[in-house]
């Protein structure tokens, strides 16, 4: 795959420690993009009028791609992780989140 070859070329020129710095920077940008998208959805805390919901959503996708790209360049994320490992972790986290919501709902019911 051509893309994997490019990631290998990046790794050959930049130490993985520096690539992880890029991961952290891009993750911070993803955080900012999520907060900006939230502000376009919430009344009472308006953001710059030029930043529409659609623009903020597009920026969120771009930052997700930046984080993934940097992780792939680091060598910690490859085909196996994207196709097998991460979907399994995501399913586990999703179930845990749903369980927490269920527990919260049950506790709220107990208080009534
Ligand atoms: Mg970015």
pLDDT tens-digit readout, 43-73: 777 777 788 999 999 999 999 999 999 999 9
**53-74 and 2-13 helices cross at what angle (nearest 10)?**
70
- Is residue 31 located within the same domain as residue 68? yes
Number of domains in the chain: 2
- Is residue 95 located within the same domain as residue 112? yes
Cα of 42 to ligand 1 centre, how many Å?
23
Residue 112 has pLDDT above 70, yes or no: no
What's the pLDDT band for 83 if we cut at 50, 70, 90?
Answer: very high
Cα of 28 to ligand 1 centre, how many Å?
8
- Is residue 96 located within the same domain as residue 63? no
Query: Which ranges of the chain would DSSP assign to H, the alpha helix?
Result: 2-13, 16-41, 53-74, 79-80, 86-111
Residue 2: its pLDDT value, please?
54
72 vs 4, which has greater pLDDT?
72
- Is residue 18 located within the same domain as residue 49? yes
Cα of 112 to ligand 1 centre, how many Å?
46
What sign for the dihedral angle of Cα 98, 103, 109, 112?
negative
Domain span at residue 11 reads 1-77
The mean pLDDT value of the chain amounts to 92
Residue 60 exposure: Cα atoms within 13 Å on the Cβ side:
15
């Amino acid at each position: 795959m051509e893309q994997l070859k490019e990631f290998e070329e990046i790794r050959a020129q930049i130490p993985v420690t520096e690539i992880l710095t890029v991961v952290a920077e891009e993750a911070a940008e993803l955080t900012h993009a999520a907060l900006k998208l939230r502000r376009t959805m919430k009344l009472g805390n308006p953001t710059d009028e030029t930043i529409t919901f659609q623009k903020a959503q597009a920026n969120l996708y771009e930052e997700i791609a930046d984080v993934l790209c940097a992780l792939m360049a680091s060598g910690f994320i490859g085909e196996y992780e994207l196709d097998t490992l991460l979907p399994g972790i995501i399913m586990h986290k999703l179930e845990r989140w749903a369980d927490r919501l269920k527990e919260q709902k049950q506790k709220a019911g107990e208080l009534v």
